[in-house]
Amino acid sequence: MLAAGPAGAAEGGPYDVIVIGAGFAGITATRELRARGKRVLLLEARGRVGGRTYVDTFGGHQVEMGGTWVETTQPHIAAELTRYDIALTEEHPVDRVLLPTPSGPKEFTPEDAFNRTGAVLERLFDGSRQYFERPFEPLYRSDLLQSLDRLSLRDRLNQLGLTAEEELLVNGQTAIYSGGSSTQGALTMLSHWWSLAGWSNQGWADTQRWRMTNGTSGLLDAMLADAKPVLRLNSPVASVTDTGSLVYVTLKSGVRYSATRAVVAVPVNVWPTIRFSPSLPAAHTTAGAQGIAVPNAYKMFIHAKAGAGKFSAQGAEGGSPIPMLMPFKETSQGLLYVAFSTDPTLDPADKAQVASAVRQLGAELDIIEVRAHDWGRDPYARGGWAFRKPGQLTSLYPSIHNTSGRVAFASGDVANGWSGFLDGAVESGLRAARQTLGLE
């Protein structure tokens, strides 16, 4: 039943469910629906599946240009890894760590850097064992969260009265995760991740420790082969109309499909680009307008000549346009580094600009080439990783998980658990499938 390619007419069907978006959330929902015998049409705007994950080749190696890391303590993705016998590869250890200090970047041993940053992070998230007592039930202690959810990460940093040296150890992290400024991200977002990781610096570090040996595409292909839906690539959706008895999905090409139900499995930031009739519920409208994923997000791989070695580096808030960098793999010419940026003025195609940004971290790289993806300007993502803003947890949850008539929603942006991670996407897809089947 698996088919691919753009549709020239409303052929095929009839369908029980139309799933919009073939990322991890959409493919998970599709598989679960197909397992219950539903006839599913899976629509994907791009010419590939994967959503905010995709595998490329660069420097002679397979590289992940989007979501990458998984952890066996993340229950939903761990179940998929087991189900399809997906092998994991551990990231290479680093030889040294560059961190910002009041007098400029300084080199630390990995153990010293880990202990120094961990001590500050533990203070930052003090109390999270209470207010996120059950991390997969984020509102379980809503009585404690109401006031805390109003705080930005900048508010929390200011509360702690850190020395300049202490704050510099962590404000690069709080800023980049927030989308560029610690004022933009919610304390409860980062502390939620910390709680899910076991309230420990080791658990937090482990969230960037393991990746799939054969790439995220290997798991997606296995899930698709299991599901065998009708798949239409290059099929961006213009509108979704729920008549009360049928759901009509119209593509930008004008082709229209119908089914008894639909699952919208695109990023929350993309919701405003689709015309919904009736209009989306209040929580969904607000989430789409405010956005959940950070609006400016580059992931890049830097191919550099040998010499600088296997180091990781973190910048200070307001410092280098590339505040996070780590080694990936050796090549015949040198080394690949993976880096992240939320600076809209950065041009990854400008090797001199990238080298300057790395120099601000305290390192010199002789750059051969850079490969980057701008998720913020990607029309089918409109942002990178999910990171809630102050107030969004307590104002949007749990309503954001509700269906709207015959339409359910699946996105790792609004998981109960690991929002912004592959685990959250799978969790969301499972929930949307249960809702569509009338099981939740």
Question: Tokens standing for 104?
Answer: 């400029």
0.85 cut: is pTM over it? yes
Q: Which residues define the annotated binding site for substrate?
A: 192
Amino acid at 334: G
| Residue 228 domain-assigned (yes or no) | yes
Round to whole Å and give the CA distance between 258 and 254: 13
What's the pLDDT tens digit per position in 359-407? 999 999 999 999 999 999 999 999 999 999 999 999 999 999 999 999 9
* Residue 302: how many other CB atoms lie within 10 Å: 29
pLDDT at 437: 98
Select from 155, 176, 207 the last residue of a domain. Answer: 207
Q: Which residues define the annotated binding site?
A: 44-45, 192, 237
pLDDT at 2: 54
Give the CATH number, domain containing residue 281.
Answer: 3.50.50.60
| Residue 345 domain-assigned (yes or no) | no
- Residue that has been written with the tokens 């993502």 in this structure: 381
Select from 155, 172, 207 the last residue of a domain. Answer: 207
| Residue 322 domain-assigned (yes or no) | no
Classify strands 40-43 and 15-20 as parallel, antiparallel or unpaired.
Answer: parallel
Helix (H) or strand (E) holding 216: helix 216-227
Which residue range forms the structural domain that includes residue 288? Answer: 15-52+215-292+387-436
| Residue 107 domain-assigned (yes or no) | yes
- Secondary structure of residue 40 in the 3-state scheme: strand
| Residue 373 domain-assigned (yes or no) | no
Round to whole Å and give the CA distance between 229 and 38: 9
Task: Give me the number of domains the chain comprises.
Answer: 2
Q: Which residues define the annotated binding site for FAD?
A: 44-45, 237
- Secondary structure of residue 56 in the 3-state scheme: strand
Decide if 339 contacts 324 (C-beta within 8 A).
yes
| Residue 7 domain-assigned (yes or no) | no
pLDDT at 6: 43
Torsion from C-alpha of 431, 72, 324, 113, nearest 10 degrees: 140
Decide if 325 contacts 339 (C-beta within 8 A).
yes
119's CB contacts (< 8 A; 6+ apart) are none
Q: Which stretches in the chain have pLDDT values below 50?
A: 1, 5-11
11's CB contacts (< 8 A; 6+ apart) are none
pLDDT at 381: 98
Same domain? 106 vs 203 = yes
* Residue 379: how many other CB atoms lie within 10 Å: 10
Same domain? 188 vs 123 = yes
DSSP 168-199: HTTHHHHHHHHTS-TTTSBHHHHHHHHHHTTS
pLDDT at 93: 92
What's the pLDDT tens digit per position in 82-138? 999 999 999 989 999 999 999 999 999 999 999 999 999 999 999 999 999 999 999
pLDDT at 14: 85
